[in-house]
């Protein structure tokens, strides 16, 4: 989840909303890669999720990172809720999941090194306080009532609202983890093309990275339960954004979409003010019930943009949001997947050629099939495994064309190796987990912690 946005002045013209998105435009030589991943922390002795307070706790982890590795603390109401350092930040998801939002970097070699260093720091603090971390798309054993709530006002408001819309909001907040990649665009046309490819191919990412086949201590019938959750959440703020494939798609059309999404809150003086279900359009007119007579700032707009959760999201960059959390190699592999597709013109053209003939029914069908059956899925004649093979090869060609070397390593394409292996075998991380569950674990899911933790 995002931290409060800062630095935006008053909104005096409606056009500023689209201009905010346009301000993210960058020439290709300035494009960067930002990788975010979440992971579950647990007490190494009890195997229960980390509480906020205590010897083995989220707070102890944040304080250990602060004291041992020169991170600067982020506080809310006196509680440490995050850390910042050199363009990166560590933050908390509602149930205590620890998130690294990496600094914007030029190459996947830097992304991989940043992830390795972060996991090393977390392990060192964890060993001292008795905590461990595991990369999965959904908590395999813990019940909803076992999950702690982090001391963040945003999460209290969201928890209250989730029961009003959809059926799985609180499960998403407290018992799922994802990995996502943030990438740049050069122009409005470039943003639209990248968003179309991102939305159409998110189901491929969901399938390749499927890693959440368990919930409440048993198989849940899906390869990506996290992917299924997002299909049963809040329809107003999730989904595949069919308008992005229509004529006229662009900054203004995206602004209209975000304005139609009900608000969660307004952030003022360190406090989250309840604006649940209210309209940002009313806010622009000075008619927001939560703050009568007050008009929003660009920071308020930036905050509101973080409360929409489609499969790909625009802020001042594009977020690819469709993958389950996983192992270190797969965290870098997701970045490699999208960088290969998006940051080489030939690869982007090839990806668009692959999907431009699909209709909304096909895109939605692939999304459903990815969560249910991963690579074994199909929709309207499109076979997921064959499609994934084509897409991974396009991404590989894109990375080779980028030619970003590191020492004796010729390019970035080797970061796709886990996905090449997955396509070749047809078996995702979820399939392997189910094999272990039915095989040597003999139905004992407590074995997952020792075998799959970082």
Q: Is residue 193 part of a domain?
A: yes
> What does the pLDDT read at residue 164?
84
Q: Kindly report, residue by residue over 102-146, the tens digit of the pLDDT.
A: 999 999 999 999 999 999 999 999 999 999 999 999 999 999 999
Share of the chain above pLDDT 90, in %: 93
CATH number for the domain including 74? Answer: 3.30.590.20
DSSP annotation of 5: P
Domain that residue 188 falls in: 16-441
Alpha helix locations (H) across 220-290?
A: 225-230, 251-259, 280-284
- By CB neighbour count within 10 A (0-12 exposed, 13-18 middle, 19+ buried), where does 403 fall? exposed
Q: CA-to-CA distance for 434 and 429, rounded, in angstroms?
A: 9
- Tell me the DSSP string of 332-372: HHHHHHHHHHHSSHHHHHHHHHHHTT--HHHHHHHHHHHHH
> What does the pLDDT read at residue 408?
73
Q: Domain count for the chain, please give it.
A: 1
pTM, whole model, 2 decimals?
A: 0.96
Closest C-alpha among 355, 356, 385 to residue 369: 385
Q: Is residue 452 part of a domain?
A: no
Q: Is residue 11 part of a domain?
A: no
Q: Which residues of the chain have a pLDDT value below 70?
A: 1-7
Q: Is residue 448 part of a domain?
A: no
Q: Is residue 252 part of a domain?
A: yes
Q: Is residue 279 part of a domain?
A: yes
Secondary structure, 3-state, 38-77: EEEEEECCCCCECCCCCCCCHHHHHHHHHHHHCCEEEEEC
Q: CA-to-CA distance for 319 and 339, rounded, in angstroms?
A: 12
Strand segments, DSSP code E, in 197-346 are 214-215, 218-219, 238-239, 265-268, 271-274, 309-310, 312-314, 318-324
Q: Is residue 71 part of a domain?
A: yes
Q: Is residue 7 part of a domain?
A: no
Q: Kindly report, residue by residue over 36-86, the tens digit of the pLDDT.
A: 999 999 999 999 999 999 999 999 999 999 999 999 999 999 999 999 999
Distances (CA, A) of 297 to 259, 274, 300: 14, 17, 5
b vs e for 198-233, b when ≥16 Cβ sit within 10 Å of the residue's Cβ? bbbbbbbbbbbbbbbbbbeeebeebbbbbbbbbbeb
Q: Give the number of other CB atoms < 10 A from CB of residue 99.
A: 20
Q: Kindly report, residue by residue over 272-282, the tens digit of the pLDDT.
A: 999 999 999 99
């Amino acid at each position: 989840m995002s931290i409060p946005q800062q630095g935006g002045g008053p909104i005096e013209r409606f056009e500023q909303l689209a201009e905010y998105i346009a301000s993210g435009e960058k020439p290709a030589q300035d494009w960067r890669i930002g990788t975010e991943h979440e992971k579950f922390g647990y007490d190494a002795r009890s195997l229960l999720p980390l509480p906020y307070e205590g010897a083995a706790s989220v707070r102890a982890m944040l304080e250990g990172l602060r004291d041992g590795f020169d991170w600067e603390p982020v506080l809310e109401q006196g509680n440490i809720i995050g850390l910042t350092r050199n363009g990166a930040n560590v933050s908390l998801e509602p149930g205590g999941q620890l998130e690294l939002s990496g600094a914007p970097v030029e190459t996947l070699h830097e992304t991989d090194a940043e992830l390795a260093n972060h996991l090393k720091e977390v392990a060192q603090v964890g060993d001292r306080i008795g905590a461990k971390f595991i990369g999965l798309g959904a908590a395999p054993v813990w019940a909803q009532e076992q999950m702690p709530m982090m001391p963040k006002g945003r999460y209290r408001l969201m928890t209250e609202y989730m029961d009003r819309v959809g059926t799985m909001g609180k499960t998403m907040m407290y018992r799922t983890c994802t990995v996502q990649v943030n990438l740049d665009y050069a122009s409005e046309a470039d943003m639209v093309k990248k968003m179309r490819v991102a939305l159409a191919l998110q189901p491929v990412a969901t399938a390749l990275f499927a890693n959440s086949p368990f919930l409440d201590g048993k198989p849940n019938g899906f390869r990506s339960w996290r992917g299924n959750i997002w299909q049963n959440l809040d329809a107003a703020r999730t989904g595949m954004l069919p308008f992005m494939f229509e004529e006229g798609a662009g900054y203004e059309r995206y602004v209209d979409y975000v304005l139609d999404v009900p608000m969660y809150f307004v952030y003022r003086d360190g406090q989250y003010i309840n604006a649940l279900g209210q309209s940002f359009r009313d806010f622009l007119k000075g008619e927001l019930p939560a703050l009568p007579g007050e008009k929003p700032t660009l920071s308020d707009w930036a905050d509101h943009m973080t409360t929409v959760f489609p499969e790909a999201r625009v802020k001042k960059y594009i977020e690819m949001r469709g993958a389950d959390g996983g192992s270190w190699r797969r965290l870098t592999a997701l970045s490699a997947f999208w960088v290969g597709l998006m940051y080489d013109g030939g690869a982007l053209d090839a990806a668009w050629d692959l999907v431009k003939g699909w209709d909304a029914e096909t895109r939605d069908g692939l999304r459903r099939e990815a969560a249910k059956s991963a690579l074994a899925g199909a929709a309207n004649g499109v076979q997921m495994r064959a499609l994934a093979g084509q897409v991974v090869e396009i991404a590989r060609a894109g990375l080779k064309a980028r030619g970003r070397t590191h020492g004796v390593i010729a390019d970035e394409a080797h970061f796709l190796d886990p996905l090449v292996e997955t396509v070749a075998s047809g078996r995702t991380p979820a399939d392997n987990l189910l094999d272990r569950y039915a095989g040597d674990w003999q139905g004992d899911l407590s074995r997952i912690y020792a075998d799959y933790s970082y």
